[in-house]
Amino acid sequence: MIEWYKKVVFENYANFDGRARRSEYWYFALASGIISIILTIVDNITGLTFGAAETGIISGLYSLLVLIPGIGVSVRRLHDVGKSGWFLLIIFIPIIGAIWLIILACTNGTQGPNEFGQDPKNDFNEINEIGKVEA
């Protein structure tokens, strides 16, 4: 899980090209969620919160740091199921948009190459191919 997280955050920081397997997307979401919870607890224990919602400073900064990689892996995940990255904007449709994106994130990717690149499941060493696009 840590290897996937490092690949998405550090090596593919703002990569919106190519395709992302379900495992790449969900490992990133899991690691990011765990880190956010831990940082929120640290913020609350140390009193580093502000505003009526008691937003944590450290967890807020972390959220800003992973915003671009999160959008990138989401766009690549949509590419894997054959959708344009612009389809991510469906999140702005209340309730239905979020449900539809979760369904797409759980859907098996297109088998074989599609307009967004090669099938990442066909790569022998997939961890080294995250987010890469063949020209």
Identify whether the C-beta of residue 123 lies closer than 8 Å to the C-beta of residue 131. no
Question: Is the model's pLDDT at 35 over the cut of 80?
Answer: yes
Tell me, what's the pLDDT at 128?
61
Cα angle vertex 70, ends 67, 73, to 5°?
150
* Lowest-pLDDT range of 33-37, 39-43, 65-69, 114-118: 114-118
Question: Is the model's pLDDT at 121 over the cut of 90?
Answer: no
**pLDDT band at residue 131, thresholds of 50, 70 and 90?**
low
Tell me, what's the pLDDT at 129?
59
Q: How far apart are CA 116 and CA 114, in angstroms?
A: 5
pLDDT 10s digits, 84-93: 999 999 999 9
Identify whether the C-beta of residue 132 lies closer than 8 Å to the C-beta of residue 118. no
